[in-house]
Amino acid sequence: MTGFTRKMQARYTLYLGSPIQRFLISGVLLTALWIDSIVFGVLLVLFVSGLQASLANEAVALRIPPVALLVLVSATGLLNDGRFSALVILGAIISTPILAGIGRTEEQKLSSEIVKILSAWLPLAVIAMSLGLLSARDASSAALFLCLIFFHDIGLYVSVRSQSQNRYVPLLAMIGSLALLWTSIQMAATSLPPDGFVPVAIGLALSISAGRVAIALWTSDPPASICLASSYFLSAPIWTLFVLFLVP
């Protein structure tokens, strides 16, 4: 096993958080979703914004731009308009280099600052925006997705703590989520059609793993807030697309 492979395996499981922490986050979000999709969306925006602001290492003045972009993009999910959300996130990405250039010293590389700001707001914004859209369209699918990610991350935590074979850790973590997905579809606990299990299962497994790998490669020292949400990064928008296209 090469040094790069060992490093990737370590970063793949970086900052999983405790099971209690995962349970509390999932429980609060599911309760808000049960109350109302708007309540869920607002709480989600506040949660990701507070998470980013509290865990950022920069001074307060330097936290404002990424948090502002995070709130702006995340809040568009409440409007239940995918096209508008896409335009807003595109505008936010385009404006990031401008924000990165403001107040930059000569010692700081512009490219490094752009990556730093993007990593501070983009992953969390994509998650919040996707789940906001999903909750407005199909609350049961949003609830199922939160449960699937919870089971995956708990499985990943247990696999790492039990010192299982490192090469099989992602697969072992995925088993619980896929079993829950299959059971939910067979029992009609979700709006997804029975014949949609295979494509949804493949898309979910690949997007969760790809999201964790992307966050691991994003920066040399990703903040804990981003690592905590890495399982959601690509799976949330992919899951939302599956629901929009597969659910009648």
Other CB atoms within 10 Å distance of the CB of residue 119: 18
Indicate if the alpha-carbon torsion angle 140, 124, 95, 213 is positive or negative.
negative
Cβ(66)–Cβ(117) below 8 Å = yes
pLDDT at 219: 58
pLDDT at 107: 64
| Furthest-apart CA atoms within the chain: distance in Å | 60
How many alpha carbons fall within 13 Å on the CB side of residue 191? 19
Please report the pLDDT score of residue 149 as a whole number: 92
Of 113, 93, 94, the C-alpha closest to 105 is: 113
Mean pLDDT, the chain cut into blocks of 10 residues (248 residues total): 52 64 86 91 86 62 75 87 89 86 69 80 89 90 93 81 63 86 89 86 91 75 67 92 81
The owner of tokens 């990031």 is: 96
Look at residue 4 in the predicted model and tell me its pLDDT. 47
Kindly give, in sequence order, each residue whose CB lies less than 8 Å from that of residue 67, ignoring residues fewer than 6 positions away: 49, 52, 53, 121
For 90, list phi and psi in degrees, rounded to 5. Answer: -65, -45
Instruction: Give residue 155's pLDDT.
Output: 82
Distance CA 58, CA 119 (A): 14
